[in-house]
Amino acid sequence: MKRTSIFLAGVLVLALASPQLVIADEERPSSEKITFLVIYRQGPAWPQGKGLSDLPLNDHGKYMISLYAKGLMKQAGPLTDDTGGAVILEVSSEAEAKAIVADDPAVKTGLFVHELHPWAPVAWEEYLKRNEPGSE
């Protein structure tokens, strides 16, 4: 547990040290995308004792495909503990992210509840390059 806390603290320090990662919506150029992490969990309509693969998610799947086709969803998939899923959105604003999630058929029907978080993925490749021998 202590190692995890130290690792997460290090990630936070690296993220905060990168000024391009945290920009307020008002300061962000309109063409720049904001990344959001959506975590879906069991909603009130999730049938008791059923796993994710037992749910009627065809409309949700079609919706995810449409978001991917529009370039709004970058990755998505189920949680392997069978309790929900996660989605990475790249959109123009928090309002757009909220509208996308609210329009998800699985959210509308109550199969899923969600958490929406602005997210700053770290460009680890850049840190790797900076820390390679001879890169000083």
* pLDDT (tens digit per residue) in 67-92: 999 999 999 999 999 889 999 999 99
Burial 57-84 (b: 16+ CB within 10 A, else e): beebeebbeebeeeebbeebeeeeeeeb
d(CA 5, CA 12): 10
Q: Does domain 27-120 have CATH number 3.30.70.1060?
A: yes
Query: What are the beta bridge partners of residue 88?
Result: 37, 75
Q: What are the beta bridge partners of residue 77? A: 86
Beta strands per DSSP E along the chain: 34-42, 73-78, 84-91, 112-118
Question: Which parts of the chain sit beneath pLDDT 70?
Answer: 1-30, 135-136
Instruction: Provide the pLDDT for residue 135.
Output: 63
Query: What is the structure's pLDDT at 132?
Result: 77
The CB density around residue 36, as the number of other CB atoms within 10 Å, is 22
pLDDT of residue 25: 44
Residues sharing a CB contact under 8 Å with residue 98, sequence separation 6 or more, in sequence order = 116
| Residue 113 backbone class (left: φ over 0; alpha: ψ -120 to 50; beta: rest) | beta
